[in-house]
Structures are given as C-alpha cells and as structure tokens.
Amino acid sequence: MNRRDVLLAAGTVVAVAATLKTDLVAAQSGSMEPAVAGAPVKRWADLAESLRPELIETEQLPIRLVRAVSDPSLPLLWRMETDAQAGELGSRVLKKGDSFILDFGGHRTGNFSFTLQTEGREPDAPARLRFIFGEVPSDVAEVLYPYRGMLSSSWLPDEIINVDYLPQHVRLPRRYAFRYVKVEVVDTSSGFGVRFEDVKAHALTSAAALPAPLPTRWPEDIRRIDEVAVATLRDCMQTCFEDGPRRDQRLWVGDLRLQAATNYVTFNQTNLVKRCLYLFAAFPRNDGLVAACVYEKPQARYGGIHIVDYAALYNVALLDYVTATGDEATGRDLFPVAKRQLEILSTHINSDGLFVDPGNVWIFVDWAPTLHKAAAIQGIMIYAYQQTLKLAERLGLAQQVRDYPARIKTMTAAARRTFFNSQRGICTSGPAGQVSWASQAWLTIAGVLTHKEASNALQRTVAIPGAVKPLTPYLYHYVAEALIDCGLKAQALDLVRRYWGGMVRAGADTFWEAYDPENPLVSPYGDRHINSYCHAWSCGPSYLFRGRGLGGGIG
C-alpha cells in the first residue's frame, strides 16, 4: 500500500488508467492536522494506547541450508534444494565472497540473531556482512538491484552491517518478514575467516495461541489453505493489525476489516480490533474523515492518505466488532465517527442517488489496472449505509439516521437504473459498459440485485473471457462473499480452492499481496521484489471456512 497504480505485467511496467490522487483538503489547506471539533480524540488516542498488546517472542532454529535452483516450470521460477543440514553451518569457515541460505521452514515476522566466531589470526578488521530476508525463494535467488519499482527501495529486504569486534553475539535490531535468510560475507581481512553459530529467528506476534485446525473430515487442500490463512493473520498481528509485516508495516482500514472478521473466528483477540478502531478515530483528517492508514511507530499519528471505500468500510468494521463482542459501549462511543464518514462522503452523491467521483479522492476497490470503479463504489456506499443503519438500530440510535432508509432506497434504484443491464443480465460500469467481477460482487453484496439476478450475473461474468478480473486477494475475497450471499457456495469454494489454493501450490507459507494465476510475477508497483508475500487482506479464507460455513458447514 503506499500505492501507485502501476502494474508489472510480463516484465513490462504499464501505467494504469487511474493515478493516486491528492486529497483536495490537503491541497486547499496545506495542512491536515487531526483536530476534529468536539471529538474526544485525545481520550480515544489514550484508550488505544492502553490496549497496546505485548508481543510474544518464540525462538526458532533453521531446519536446513539450501540452494536456489532455477525452475521455469514453477510460478516464481525457483525451487529450493537441500544443501546441508542446518547443524553443519557452524563448522564452515567463510571468507570474502562466501555465502549461504538458511531455511526456517515457514514464514515468520521477527528478528534474526547469531554468534560470529573467527578462525585464523586475531581479527584485525571488521566483518562486513550482507543479509537478504526472503519470504519466497525469488527474494534470495534473484538480484534486487537495479531496482525498478515505484515505492522506495528502502523497503527491499536487505541489510549490510559491520561487526567491529569479534567474536560477538549479534541480534539485528530491525524486524523482518522471512522464511529464508541469505548471508553474504562481503569482506574480512585476508588473515581470518568467520563461522556462524547459534543462529536463530525470533518470531514476534501478539497472537496468543494458534486456533484449533479444521477437523480432519475436511479435504486436505482446504485444511492447508486455512492453515496458511491463519499463519498470514498471525504474522500480521503485531501491536496493531499490520497490512504487511514486510512492507508497509502499518494499519489500513480495508485490511483491518478482513483481518478483524478472520480474527473473530480464529484468535479472537478482540482488544486488538478495539485498539485499531480507536486509532482510526483518534487520528482523522481535520473534518473527521478517517485516514486510510495510521502510522503507529514511533508513536501513533495521522496517516495522511484517504480512500473513499476504506472510509466507508470503517463503519462496517465497527458493526462487525459490536456484533462479535457485544461491546455496545464502544459502539456508542465511536458511532459519531461512523456517522461522520457518511456525512462527508454523501457530498459526492448527486440528486439521483449516484456517487460521483469528484476526481480529487482515491477510490481503490482493487489494483486491477483497467477497472472502472463507478459500479463498485456505488455498491460499497450502499452497503456502508445499510451496515451503519444496522449499527444504529442495535445501539438504539436509529433516530440519528432516520434519513438512511430513504437514501438507501434512492441509491439502490439509481444503481439498478445505471449499472444493471437487464437484457444481458449483468452489471456494467462506465460509458464503454465494462463488465468486471468487482461490479457484480459489490452490487450483489449491497443487495441491489435479487438473489436470482445476482446468481445469474456472477455466473455469466466469470464466464466472459474479457471481464475484468481482480488482481488482489482483497477483491477476490469480496467476490467469494458475493457468491455465498446469492447461494453459490459451491462456486465460492471452487474459487477459493483455485485462487488461494493456487498460491499454496506455488509454495506459499502465507498469502500474498497480489496474485494473478495467469501472471504470478505481477506487481502493482513495478518490481516484484517490493511485493509483500504475507499480506493481511489475503487471510480471508479462514473467515469464509469458519465464519461463513464454506467447505464444511462450520461456523
């Protein structure tokens, strides 16, 4: 995230139609100080801080030394073969130009430590070492530079350090996301070599204990998809729900909504959700619009980026929290925040009930580069109104939103009139009548279509070769939810097994930020080495299995 609409397709950077737009308020005021008149933002910030969890550290040993072997038949083009058992590392004397790759057997978020011993004469120079931390084999098998991406190269997972005094125990201070660690000896003096002993990973998470696995009566591939989804969420559960422990390492609303839903049926650490909801409430734009992201370190602060659909989904996440926990006190405390989101966003709804992109706000929906988003954002806005109305009714605050039913009715009628092609039985978006999975999914979730219409539209759309598909697990999740909503559970399960299962078959230990089965090397940012291969918005299969009864009736 920190996102630019750039797609790496078959090795070529292709500019997409939409660009990241500057927030109009920032441009007009030159400032976005998070001070909302009348809102208790200081109390909310203090409450969020009081809910900061302790991180649990688990020491882990590497399981083997490996070498990367080119294999064009594999989605990421590389496989790992065993070079030696991990215990043999301590006997190797390494000098300038030597290297090795460790495999820890699975993904973790955390630190890396080792003891550096010497062989030969007394060390008369520092040992200069380079570390590359890999979530997937290509991270450590391919050169990272020259880097061609649109995000800062400082996110690339490599590090050069000098160890001045030897022997010495070293724990690298930065946190990484990794399964593999490549270590290169950049230089020592010619008179001595180095040996690595007591090598460890220190996995960090706020997840207290793994949930029970799915029962063995479930098919093996579904249990593996669930296992990988749980691991994805676990490694993103830090002192907030991070979107990706490799990159961006911060809290985003869209990711939070899916993380929280999955958390309720797995780890069920509800205080972490509560903390995140209060962080967004405490650090909004000066008019009260929640930021799309919040920076948490070195101290919590305003994120400065705004996304229409994310602001609307804050309300959905709040209702989900109240429903899962029964914590109506928090719901009432934060209800003004939810109400304010729709007050601000409604200024872009015209008299006919259509949300009109004013051209100065970011509408995300998905990274698919050609996606026309008018139909999808209309569905998201209707859904946000519906869920906010449900929240108000549950909290006894329906009088505060008494105009919502009429607004929902008007927007739904406008959506049918504008986007539903009754002759073709599908939804389209834009002047060219684009057909996309996003349009069908969000207008289904919003209840714009009847069950029969939605079922037919979704099935017809996925059968159209030119229909715009999702690029990310984020949108694929909502497509799966739409299929479930209109009674197509078998199709939803097939989608999960093909899409998320495709990542598992490609070797995923945690689910990726972006995945296109037809182009597994895809990157929204111009260079696949900047991609996150453990990403929060990808953890949803566990929610679909455990919370929506997909694949076995549990939940």
- In a domain? residue 211: no
**Cα–Cα dist 179/174, whole Å:** 16
- In a domain? residue 332: yes
| CATH code for the domain in which residue 95 is found | 2.60.120.260
Q: What pLDDT score does 35 carry? A: 47
Phi and psi, residue 132, nearest 5°: -125, 125
* Claim to verify: residue 21 and residue 95 sit in the same structural domain: no
The model carries a pTM of 0.93
* Claim to verify: residue 303 and residue 154 sit in the same structural domain: no
* Claim to verify: residue 198 and residue 233 sit in the same structural domain: no
Residue 269, by phi and psi: left (phi above 0), alpha (psi -120 to 50) or beta? beta
**Cα–Cα dist 474/365, whole Å:** 8
Residue with tokens 């890396």: 112
How many whole angstroms from its chain centre is CA 177? Answer: 14
Domain end, chosen from 182, 205, 228, is at 205
Asked if 97 and 112 count as a contact pair (C-beta separation under 8 A), the reply is no
* Claim to verify: residue 21 and residue 80 sit in the same structural domain: no
Q: What pLDDT score does 30 carry? A: 33
**Cα–Cα dist 379/268, whole Å:** 29
The tens place of each residue's pLDDT in the chain, 555 residues long, gives: 443 333 333 332 333 333 333 333 333 333 344 446 678 999 999 999 999 999 999 999 999 999 999 999 999 999 999 999 999 999 999 999 999 999 999 999 999 999 999 999 999 999 999 999 999 999 999 999 999 999 999 999 999 999 999 999 999 999 999 999 999 999 999 999 999 999 999 999 999 989 999 999 999 999 999 999 999 999 999 999 999 999 999 999 999 999 999 999 999 999 999 999 999 999 999 999 999 999 999 999 999 999 999 999 999 999 999 999 999 999 999 999 999 999 999 999 999 999 999 888 899 999 999 999 999 999 999 999 999 999 999 999 999 999 999 999 999 999 999 999 999 999 999 999 999 999 999 999 999 999 999 999 999 999 999 999 999 999 999 999 999 999 999 999 999 999 999 999 999 999 999 999 999 999 999 999 999 999 999 999 999 999 999 987 543
Strands (E), 206-311: 251-252, 293-295, 301-302
* Claim to verify: residue 199 and residue 266 sit in the same structural domain: no
CA-to-CA dists, residue 158 to 134, 162, 242, 404, 530, angstroms = 9, 14, 21, 51, 11
How many whole angstroms from its chain centre is CA 429? Answer: 26
- In a domain? residue 1: no
- In a domain? residue 552: no
Closest-CA residue to 128 (of 93, 166, 102) = 166
- In a domain? residue 555: no
* Claim to verify: residue 144 and residue 25 sit in the same structural domain: no
Residue 117's H or E segment, with its range, is strand 99-120
Domain end, chosen from 205, 239, 264, is at 205
Q: What pLDDT score does 221 carry? A: 96
* Claim to verify: residue 47 and residue 71 sit in the same structural domain: no
Q: How many domains does the chain have?
A: 2
- In a domain? residue 554: no
Asked if 206 and 56 count as a contact pair (C-beta separation under 8 A), the reply is yes
Closest-CA residue to 2 (of 284, 269, 251, 248) = 248
* Claim to verify: residue 49 and residue 94 sit in the same structural domain: no
* Claim to verify: residue 136 and residue 242 sit in the same structural domain: no
* Claim to verify: residue 182 and residue 320 sit in the same structural domain: no
**Cα–Cα dist 479/495, whole Å:** 9
Q: What pLDDT score does 17 carry? A: 30
- Within 10 angstroms of residue 18's Cβ, the number of other Cβ atoms is 17
Domain end, chosen from 205, 231, 253, is at 205
- In a domain? residue 286: yes
* Claim to verify: residue 306 and residue 188 sit in the same structural domain: no
- In a domain? residue 553: no
**Cα–Cα dist 137/102, whole Å:** 11
Amino acid in position 419: F
| CATH code for the domain in which residue 435 is found | 1.50.10.10
Handedness of CA 496, 497, 502, 503 (dihedral sign): positive
Q: What pLDDT score does 11 carry? A: 32
Owning domain of residue 12: 6-29+40-55+217-546
Asked if 543 and 30 count as a contact pair (C-beta separation under 8 A), the reply is no
* Claim to verify: residue 106 and residue 197 sit in the same structural domain: yes
